[in-house]
Structure 1
């Protein structure tokens, strides 16, 4: 699909006074500070491993590093707010010192964790619950004046797969985002990124329906992040497990880019960067 389809979309983010241009799609590499995430190769258990993972993300072409210390997979263990904060702040401080050019995203639904990490040097907040799991999150985002990624989900990571009933999934998602975008903008939040939430409160078929109609989110004229990396929507259809899902990830990332994705959130940064380069090459006039 031609790039000019998405010309009206906001494509810049202000990160501590630095403007980041998303008119050309970019990669967000996943860095998990937990041993409980669904894909074992993304896990780090020490600061040394986290620094190695951060360096690999940057060297392979990642623009953002998304740091998570609480696994959102179904059945994952609970992590206390204090433990999550301690892990996040320690990692942010170490990565910021080692790689001052790195743009750090904080994957959390807890406002206190987000505040602590931003004050330690992170740049944006990535909230899987779009404020639903912590009523203080929206005000925290507004107070910190940082970009905010909000994802579509119903329920919690523990209950989300019990909430997959929709009359019209795209319309319900549009209403969900519309209400939250309006609230945030009234609070003065300027940089909002939408995440359709593939794999969250959606059946396998619903995930593909959302991907098929992803252009519907253009009505918001906001950047869109897509996270399908090695998810069950791939391997439950093709077979195998997360370790077998890189090829499927690349295929779906290609479709997402053609439908206007601005950020690909992935485990395999080099593959995603190559995907972006090749799709961009086909769109050159």
Structure 2
């Protein structure tokens, strides 16, 4: 077959192709570009057109075919045009055809399909088909410079999706282009990468792994990164690339000195060596399996991406151990860090020093529970059963007790036990003119108030400046009203967990540096794009409040009512993914479903009723929940209840239900009264837990 080509570019036609963006069947603009292979040697020598393909005739035939028919999809157009060009009339033998629909997608310049057909077919069809999206315009945080971390900048994406060679389905049946673009937009605009390389690699992974596309080419450019040039990066990736680099799970443990920090140091070392940690489990505390006189071990699991073989990976883990370990004491006794491979894809391997899968993985909950946190449906390669199933098989007679552990700065922590007491978060708020008083009296008031709160049952003190969504308070004023009390509390040597309530990343950073332990982001990371990255750098726990209003803006009031719980779950799933993507460890995440935010009184009552569904939702497995039921939202205003004392006890009834249904942390304003309610509700819940163990 000759390599000579006859081409027509950008043939603009009007055709009815399915429905437009509004669901209506009407004429739409279609651009056709095609190349036909033929041998033009005779025409070139004789200067006689019949020895070649008449592009004018091809143009006319294609135009009549497209404009006089109705098509369901652009695939129908493509196949039909190729059949016409390969017909006896034009004597085509090989066609490369591109069909475009300009502005078919709202944020893209064009999208379409490119196919190759020939006579005979020779399987060209299944190999060469592709769909594309050109100049998809998005806004995201991207760049290494400080000013690039503060606000989003435009990024232009070009994407090509290739059909798998082992399938014959039409594109419309296999890949939903609108859905692909929607998920890509959501992924990019919630990301905050430093480099274009990392951004487009993450997009390729989303498409190949999550959306099951066999092969993709992604290019991205930053139009305003350089003054007189436009930089861009392009990659081509397929499923096998990511299958080679995923589904490797490691176990980390430590039982000396700063245990949680030791695990964090190990994760940092893994990343620095190119063993990229993509997800973490929660932390679990348990006694040493051997020589139990030693301190309790802290365990976690991580999912990593690596190109290393199992042997190479094991050697790297031992090198990291040696770097972190200052001295090794009794084997399996006191260890600063222990790293092992739990699972390496479906590999089965027996080597000197290690086995894959790990020999104890099905025997000890300290290995299974962390795996369940990351991927409950992960299957053991020997049994082909899920890790969540194997965890359920471990009998209660197993004497290895594990406890969920939340690390705090300065080697402190919070324990979450099924049969233990709930954490009580007491709100410490100050009037607007409070800090205009004499400093000495202010200091004494703060110290005495905090001591009284601790005496009344508070385990967490939350300092807030009323910086809630919709209020007007400057960053300077918020800093003054939050940072000073934290310093006063720490200077008084009061060792209590302090939470700071803010949506500003810089305030969160200053607060933690002053002595705060937890960041409570009232916006769920939506108001300050650098919040999650800041918290990841600080390596402290964060309370992420659900902000589902944005997801509801496209729904009618009736749909909002019907989808309140589902929308809430979707919102929180999205927040958790964004937090982990930004580098926040799973063990540092606490969720707040936000009673009263964009919800009616009935919605809050419904949410309380469905709290068991929420806390046992697979997407939130083992994530601690913070609840703050407020009577002002929960009781029906038509009842005419206005007295504060009545409101307190109305709140108490809702609060008791939250405790029994599974709240880990309760945020309260009327501490003294609510602490008594929580104590009774806790006793009921603990008794029920003990009964279930019998």
Give TM-score scaled by structure 1 length.
0.83
| Structure 2 Cα separation of the partners of residues 191 and 93 of structure 1 | 23
Partner of 1:160: none
Q: Which runs of 5+ in 2 are unaligned?
A: 1-368, 374-402, 551-556
Partner of 2:384: none
Indicate which of 120, 138, 155 corresponds to 2:514: 120
**Cα deviation 1:140-168 (Å, max 9, x = unaligned):** 11010000101113459xxxxxx993541
Partner of 1:15: 408
- Matched ranges for 1:231-270 at <5 A: 231-234=632-635, 236=637, 238-241=639-642, 243=644, 244-270=646-672
How far the C-alpha of 1:213 sits from its partner, in A, is 0.5
**Cα deviation 1:99-154 (Å, max 9, x = unaligned):** 42111000001111111111000000011111001111000110100001011134
**Cα deviation 1:152-187 (Å, max 9, x = unaligned):** 13459xxxxxx9935411111111111121222231
| Structure 2 Cα separation of the partners of residues 257 and 29 of structure 1 | 15
Structure with more contact order per residue of length (Cα contacts < 8 Å, sep ≥ 6): 1
Indicate which of 606, 615, 629 corresponds to 1:228: 629
Partner of 2:575: 180
Residues 194 and 90 (structure 1 numbering): CA distance in 2 closer, same or farther, change over 3 Å? same
Partner of 1:58: 454
Partner of 1:171: 566
- Would you say the 8 A contact 2:660–2:682 is kept in 1? no
Moved more, 237-246 or 225-234: 237-246
Partner of 1:199: 596
| Structure 2 Cα separation of the partners of residues 66 and 115 of structure 1 | 16
How far the C-alpha of 1:82 sits from its partner, in A, is 1.2
Q: Any idea what SS the aligned residue of 2:635 has?
A: helix
| Structure 1 Cα separation of the partners of residues 636 and 427 of structure 2 | 19
How far the C-alpha of 1:270 sits from its partner, in A, is 2.5
Residues 33 and 15 (structure 1 numbering): CA distance in 2 closer, same or farther, change over 3 Å? same
Residues 107 and 237 (structure 1 numbering): CA distance in 2 closer, same or farther, change over 3 Å? farther
Partner of 1:85: 479
How far the C-alpha of 1:85 sits from its partner, in A, is 1.0
- Would you say the 8 A contact 1:11–1:223 is kept in 2? no
Residues 237 and 105 (structure 1 numbering): CA distance in 2 closer, same or farther, change over 3 Å? farther
Partner of 2:524: 130
Q: Any idea what SS the aligned residue of 1:201 has?
A: coil
Instruction: Work out whether 1:110 is the aligned partner of 2:504.
Output: yes
Residues 145 and 199 (structure 1 numbering): CA distance in 2 closer, same or farther, change over 3 Å? same
Residues 144 and 20 (structure 1 numbering): CA distance in 2 closer, same or farther, change over 3 Å? same
Q: Which has the higher helix share?
A: 1
Residues 45 and 128 (structure 1 numbering): CA distance in 2 closer, same or farther, change over 3 Å? farther
How far the C-alpha of 1:63 sits from its partner, in A, is 0.3
| Structure 2 Cα separation of the partners of residues 78 and 13 of structure 1 | 33
Please tell me the root mean square deviation across aligned C-alpha atoms, in Å. Answer: 2.8
Instruction: Work out whether 1:152 is the aligned partner of 2:546.
Output: yes
Q: Which has the higher strand share?
A: 2
| Structure 2 Cα separation of the partners of residues 112 and 254 of structure 1 | 36
**Cα deviation 1:201-223 (Å, max 9, x = unaligned):** 11111111111111222220211
Moved more, 136-145 or 274-283: 274-283
Instruction: Work out whether 1:70 is the aligned partner of 2:466.
Output: yes
Moved more, 90-99 or 147-156: 147-156
| Structure 1 Cα separation of the partners of residues 488 and 549 of structure 2 | 34
| Structure 1 Cα separation of the partners of residues 436 and 662 of structure 2 | 35
